[in-house]
A = this chain, B = another copy of it.
Amino acid sequence: MPKPDADPTVQLDLSVDRSSPVPLYFQLSQQLEAAIEQGVLTPGSLLGNEIELAARLGLSRPTVRQAIQSLVDKGLLVRRRGVGTQVVHSQVKRPLELSSLYDDLEAAGQRPATKVLVNTVVPASAEVAAALGVTEDGDVHRVERLRLAHGEPMAYLCNYLPPGLLDLDTGQLETTGLYRLMRSAGITLHSARQSIGARAATAAEAERLGETEGAPLLTMQRTTFDDTGRAVEYGTHTYRPSRYSFEFQLLVRP
């Protein structure tokens, strides 16, 4: 009985457009990622050696390697010296990005709505001043929002921003997420420090979220930095655990 080939080397029709301004390695990595996404490249299948792949596409090996490496970094491929490069056995989706709750809900088809409760300038408390790196009692923007999904309150978001960074329009805040506003204002987000915990709801918190006093709440604090190292946002959020949990995938750094 002939044994079926378990991990065949897949032949794809790949091509690159040298007249395009898009980098060649990026064109290739996108095509490979699409092939994996659509199941053309099945989990476990080998990708064929780099040399031949480069020759087939008329590219150099470094370029092909750069394309493959970007997918390895995303967790979609695994390289094994002496063996080859193969597609990871699925399960991998998104390796945890610095995403906004708004975008997450929208992607999940939850039709998020936002109610801006407060949008003003206040003197910075000691906590906020320390997080944002501004002087205490200096001006900071304060935004309080209630995030709803299907008309039900899901989270209470309280955010602080350093002054002069961004015009915070209440109308815009109700139709999109804070991160998207910041990015479109030319701020390049770089990293964030997060802390996720839980605690019992105070009376005021319970009131806001439609829970009862003492009910468990999921809490998140976050400070976000841009690529110059400035803190550009500090926020304390509380979530209804029956409506929301943090789901993410993370990769092991090799």
Chain A residues within 8 Å of B, Cβ to Cβ: 43-44, 62, 73, 75, 78, 88-92, 95-98, 188-200, 214-218, 225, 227-231, 241, 244-253
CA distance A217 to B92 in the complex (A): 28
Asked if A216 and B190 sit within 8 Å, CB to CB, the answer is no
Q: Which of A225, A241, A246, A252 is packed against the most chain B CB atoms within 10 Å?
A: A252
Asked if A78 and B190 sit within 8 Å, CB to CB, the answer is yes
The smallest C-beta distance from A118 to any residue of chain B, in angstroms, reads 25
The smallest C-beta distance from A15 to any residue of chain B, in angstroms, reads 26
Asked if A249 and B192 sit within 8 Å, CB to CB, the answer is yes
**Assuming the A-B contacts A92-B191, A191-B92, A214-B214, are A227 and B196 also in contact, with contact meaning beta carbons closer than 8 angstroms in the complex?**
no
A252 neighbours in B (Cβ, 8 Å): 97-98, 188-192
CA distance A89 to B225 in the complex (A): 9
Q: Quick one: closest B residue to A193, CB to CB?
A: B249
Q: Quick one: closest B residue to A249, CB to CB?
A: B193
CA distance A253 to B252 in the complex (A): 15
Q: Quick one: closest B residue to A88, CB to CB?
A: B229
